[in-house]
C-alpha cells in the first residue's frame, strides 16, 4: 500500500519506427488498416523528417521530470506513470502498474491542454475501462485534470515562447508579423440549425468548448504580450470524408500574406511535444506555403521537457489534488 498520489501522464502514442507505422495507424483507425496509398504517404512524411519518432522519448522525459518536480525538496508524495493511447506502454498498462504498486489515489493528466470529447474525454474513458477490467480490489481511485489551457503558468510559458520567436524574426518582418495559435483539427458534424460541433461530442451546449478554449489560450497570451495581430487556426486534419474544424493553418497563412503581413509565427498551443504534426505539418508543409506566399515563417519551440513547462504541469497537478475530492 502506498501513501503517494499516482499521476498517470497520458499521451497519444507514436509509431516506434518505420516498421511500426502500419500497426500504429491501424490502431488509430480502430483496427482498420490504412490503404496502401495512405500508408505510402505516411511513410514518405516520416522519411521527410528523417524517420524520426521522438514522441515516446519526449513523453518519458516529461513524466520523469514531472515526478522530480512534484517531489522537490526531498519529498516522496507523488509517483508518475506513463500511459499511451495508441502505443506501448498503453494506458491500461499504466493503470495496472499503479494497482500493483498499491497506489490508492490517482490523477489522470492528459498531456493536451484543451478539452474535447474526442481528445481528453477519450483518455478518461480508457482509464475507466482499464479500472473496470482490473476489478474493484486494490484499484486506485481516479480523478482527472480535464483542461489546463488557461492556467497562468502555462500561458506565461507560451508567452515566453512567442516572444522569443518574434524576436528571432528580422526587424522588418517583425513589424508586420501575425501570430497564429493552432491545435489539432477535429472532425465535425452540423446540427439541424447549422451549428458545427465536434463529431462525437454532445457536451457543449452553445459553442464548441475545444474551439473556445483555444481562443482563450490565444487571448491569454495576447494579454501578456499585447500582440499586434493574432488569430487561431487548425492543423493536421485527417484524411476522411468528414468536415474538419477550420480554417486550416495553410489557408490562414495565405490570407495573412494577402492582407499584407510580412511574417507569421505559429504557436502550436494544442501540442506539447515534437512529433510528426510539428516536424512535418508545420516545419515542412506550412513553411512551404509561407514561402510560396512570400511571407516569413517561424514557429515557437515546443515545450517538451523544458523546466518551466514542467513546473507549470506540476502546479496544475498540485492544485487539482488540493481541490479534488476523490470519487
| 168 and 220 together in one domain | yes
Question: Quick one: which of 152, 54, 60 has its CA closest to 68?
Answer: 60
Q: pLDDT at position 327, please?
A: 43
| 176 and 233 together in one domain | yes
What total of structural domains would you count in the chain? 2
| 141 and 203 together in one domain | no
CATH number at 37 reads: 3.40.50.1400
Q: Which domain holds residue 115?
A: 2-147+305-323
pTM score of the predicted model: 0.93
| 137 and 116 together in one domain | yes
| 137 and 184 together in one domain | no
Q: Is 323 exposed, middle or buried (0-12, 13-18, 19+ CB in 10 A)?
A: exposed
| 116 and 192 together in one domain | no
| 40 and 26 together in one domain | yes
Rounded-to-integer distance, Cα 130 and Cα 251, Å: 41
Q: pLDDT at position 219, please?
A: 98
| 254 and 189 together in one domain | yes
Sorted by sequence, the CB contacts under 8 Å of residue 209 that are 6+ apart come out as: 115, 116, 201, 203
One pLDDT digit (tens) per residue for the chain, 327 residues: 468 999 999 999 999 999 999 999 999 999 999 999 999 999 999 999 999 999 999 999 999 999 999 999 888 999 999 999 999 999 999 999 999 999 999 999 999 999 988 889 999 999 999 999 987 788 999 999 999 999 999 999 999 999 999 999 999 999 999 999 999 998 886 555 555 556 555 555 555 889 999 999 999 999 999 999 999 999 998 877 778 889 999 999 999 999 999 999 999 999 999 999 999 999 999 999 999 999 999 999 999 999 999 999 999 999 999 997 554
| 33 and 82 together in one domain | yes
Q: pLDDT at position 187, please?
A: 84
| 194 and 86 together in one domain | no
Amino acid at each position: 500500500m502506498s501513501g503517494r498520489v499516482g499521476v498517470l501522464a497520458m499521451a497519444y502514442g507514436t509509431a516506434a519506427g518505420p516498421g511500426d507505422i502500419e500497426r500504429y495507424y491501424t490502431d488509430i483507425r480502430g483496427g482498420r488498416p490504412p490503404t496502401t496509398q495512405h500508408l505510402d504517404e505516411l511513410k514518405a512524411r516520416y522519411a521527410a523528417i528523417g524517420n524520426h519518432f521522438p514522441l515516446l522519448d519526449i513523453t518519458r522525459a516529461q513524466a520523469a521530470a514531472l515526478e522530480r518536480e512534484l517531489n522537490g525538496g526531498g519529498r516522496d508524495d507523488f509517483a508518475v506513470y506513463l500511459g499511451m493511447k495508441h502505443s506501448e506502454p498503453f494506458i491500461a498498462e499504466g493503470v495496472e502498474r499503479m494497482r500493483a504498486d498499491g497506489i490508492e489515489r490517482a490523477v489522470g493528466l492528459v498531456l493536451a491542454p484543451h478539452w474535447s470529447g474526442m481528445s481528453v474525454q477519450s483518455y478518461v474513458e480508457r482509464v475507466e475501462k482499464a479500472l473496470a477490467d482490473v476489478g474493484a480490489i486494490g484499484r486506485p481511485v481516479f480523478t482527472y485534470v480535464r483542461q489546463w489551457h488557461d492556467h497562468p503558468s502555462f500561458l506565461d510559458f507560451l508567452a515566453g515562447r512567442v516572444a522569443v520567436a518574434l524576436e528571432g524574426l528580422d526587424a522588418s518582418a517583425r513589424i508586420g508579423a501575425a501570430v497564429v495559435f493552432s491545435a489539432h483539427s477535429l472532425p465535425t458534424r452540423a446540427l439541424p440549425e447549422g451549428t458545427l460541433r465536434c463529431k462525437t461530442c454532445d457536451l457543449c451546449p452553445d459553442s464548441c468548448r475545444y474551439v473556445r478554449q483555444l481562443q482563450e489560450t490565444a487571448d491569454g497570451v495576447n494579454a501578456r504580450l499585447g500582440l499586434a495581430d493574432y488569430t487561431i487556426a487548425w492543423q493536421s486534419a485527417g484524411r476522411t470524408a468528414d468536415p474538419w474544424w477550420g480554417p486550416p493553418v495553410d489557408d490562414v497563412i495565405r490570407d495573412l500574406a494577402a492582407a499584407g503581413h510580412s511574417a507569421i509565427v505559429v504557436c502550436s498551443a494544442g501540442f506539447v511535444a515534437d512529433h510528426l504534426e510539428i516536424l512535418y505539418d508545420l516545419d515542412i508543409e506550412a513553411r512551404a506555403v509561407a514561402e510560396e506566399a512570400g511571407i516569413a515563417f517561424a514557429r515557437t519551440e515546443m515545450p517538451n521537457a523544458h523546466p518551466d513547462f514542467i513546473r507549470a504541469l506540476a502546479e496544475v497537478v498540485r492544485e487539482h489534488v488540493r481541490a479534488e475530492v476523490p470519487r
